[in-house]
Amino acid sequence: MRKFKTESQKVLDMMINSIYTHKEIFLRELLSNCSDAIDKLYYKSLTDGVSGMSREDFSIRIEIDKEHRALKVSDNGIGMTAEELENNLGVIAHSGSLEFKKETDGKAEDLNIIGQFGVGFYSAFMVAKKVEVLTKAYGAGSANLWVSNGTEGYEIKPAEKEENGTEITLYLKDDGEENYSRYLEEYEIKDLVRKYSNYIRYPIKMEVTSFGEGEEKKTEVETLNTMVPLWRKNKKDITKEEYDKFYADVFYDQEEPLLTIHTSAEGAVEYKALLFIPAHPRYDFYSKNFEKGLRLYTNGVLITDKCKDLLPDHFAFVQGLVDSELTLNVSRETVQHDRQLQRIAQSLEKKIKSELINLQKEDREKYIKFFEAFGLQIKYGIYDNWGAKKDLLSDLVMYRSVKEDKLVTLEEYVDAMAEGQKYVYYATGSSFDAIKTLPQTEKVLDAGYDVLAMTDNVDEFAVKFLDKYKEKEFRSVSGEDTGIEEDETVPEEDKEVIDFIKESLGDKVAKVKLSQKLKSHPVCLTSEGEITIEMEKVLNGMPNVPKDGVKATKVLEINAQHKIFEKAKKLYVEDKEKLRTLSTVLLNQAMLIEGLPIDSPTKYAEAVCSLLAD
């Protein structure tokens, strides 16, 4: 009996006592090793000029032996000599596992750092109490058998084997909390191969049982893996139906995707990617439970179902996969910060954007469908990280134009701007109709300018970060300076009336002013400074607001042309007390138009009645 080297023993102990939940990945590890061993021999045949060997001669086999609770995985690859057995399986030699060992040293309980990466041959001990490796190196005269139960050490002894290659037999652990017997079921093995090893380039064969007519049992050898993945095929050989079927099968979505992006990159980063934009958000998309990410394959082997570092949050809705020949490290931490992954992620981000822009230009109806499903996510993306991604995302966002009553891009808005128009005007509110009828909106429309209606809570914040589009500043129609000419010269007698109204309203408003541009409405409420009225509403709706709430600095604008102002002027001379009542009524009306709560509906109703009763 030979002892394992100390560091190997540590990893082994962890594997044996593993609380790691994905024990099933042992099969992926063994199959990947088989594939590597065949690659090595095939490569050798090419370089050493060994003739008569072709790719078709190679295969991997899985056998189930229920009687002995054994699972056998074999290949006809390069095999190992006794010395190689000793060096490869007696000690952890490769960098991946070394890295792994360093990270886990002395804290065996810290198992969560076993990422989904290359845990290697020893992972067999997560499910097996004994492992046998029968192997014959290519061109060698004799074979050897390596046997170990993982704990004590291992033995190597001469053995008989006809063909070159390696045959690994796992004697499964007894069932307990964990059901190891499942690895003796054909369907389970089929599932695992399809899940993790579907795109191994050599056929993975297994004898499967089927029931023919009557009760007759038939067995036949089946190839379990597809080998050539769809994304590695030439784009022009793939039909839309194939893409759609793949999407439906892999991502469990019966509705065909809005957009399919099949792309590859060469040079600094090399990858192939197959991405889909779903037609609708998943049921949990806008919840905390949703996990973004792409499937990551390397060399045809599935590494992880959801590599979140491949997708930025603003494109979290994208489904798909990336296949890249990465040089991988064991721990998940290292992978997350992997430069290669970062580069791929950057390249994908650009690609997704450009494809979305294409869709926007070429199929507006579809793009609008996309935007209705995921526009909110794009808007959050603009606002996220202090606007770090606004330049990337501002072309994707759309708002409803009040003039045209349809969604337009910012580019379209700016291109259609009127002579002399300096700003991009927007109005915020709870609905398109509310915005359309806002007196301030009316004012801007009358000046001949369009207004973008913003109805999502995030809009007001996102627009602050957008700041400008193509050098054009955004201006709220309710802001203090809309840049629209107003006749500011107020006659002295009007000014006195205005001042009186302000005084009677106290600090409920910061300012009262006469407006020349209000058309039909008698009054409106605008704001000064950073916090707008819409923000006041959103912020006060959030948990943990300060006791007095957040307040915008409000300005009450009164229509100088409106009859009600005539009335106010008259009251100023004849009945100041009544003018006070009228002032509060006007302010309350302006609040109601804005959708703000008024202090006392009862008092408001009384005031209105007292005015009407006269």
The residues that touch ligand ADP, with contacts defined as CB under 6 A, are 29, 33-34, 37, 75, 77-80, 88-89, 94, 96, 118, 120-122, 166
Residue placing its CB nearer to ligand ADP in the complex, 79 or 257: 79
Least separation in angstroms between residue 11's CB and ligand ADP is 9
Name the helix (H) or strand (E) containing 357: helix 339-362
3-state secondary structure 388-413: CCHHHHCCCCEEEECCCCEEEEHHHH
Least separation in angstroms between residue 319's CB and ligand ADP is 30
Residue placing its CB nearer to ligand ADP in the complex, 29 or 459: 29
Least separation in angstroms between residue 75's CB and ligand ADP is 5
Nearest to 442 by CA among 525, 555, 533, 519: 519
Residue placing its CB nearer to ligand ADP in the complex, 131 or 560: 131
Least separation in angstroms between residue 56's CB and ligand ADP is 19
Residue placing its CB nearer to ligand ADP in the complex, 32 or 559: 32
Residue placing its CB nearer to ligand ADP in the complex, 88 or 589: 88
Name the helix (H) or strand (E) containing 14: helix 6-16
Residue placing its CB nearer to ligand ADP in the complex, 263 or 331: 331
Amino acid residing at 312: P
Contacts of 513 (CB under 8 A, 6+ apart): 498, 555, 556, 557, 558
Query: CB nearest ligand ADP: which residue?
Result: 120
Residue placing its CB nearer to ligand ADP in the complex, 169 or 478: 169
Give the separation between CA 511 and CA 497, rounded to whole angstroms.
13
Residue placing its CB nearer to ligand ADP in the complex, 99 or 395: 99
Continuous H helices in 277-338: 332-336
Could you count the other beta carbons within 10 Å of the beta carbon of residue 543?
4
Nearest to 17 by CA among 173, 223, 236: 173
Least separation in angstroms between residue 79's CB and ligand ADP is 6
Least separation in angstroms between residue 47's CB and ligand ADP is 18
Paired tokens of 458: 């995030």
Contacts of 220 (CB under 8 A, 6+ apart): 207, 208, 210
Least separation in angstroms between residue 78's CB and ligand ADP is 6
Residue 20, SS3 per DSSP:
coil
Paired tokens of 348: 């994908």
Least separation in angstroms between residue 178's CB and ligand ADP is 22
Could you count the other beta carbons within 10 Å of the beta carbon of residue 553?
17
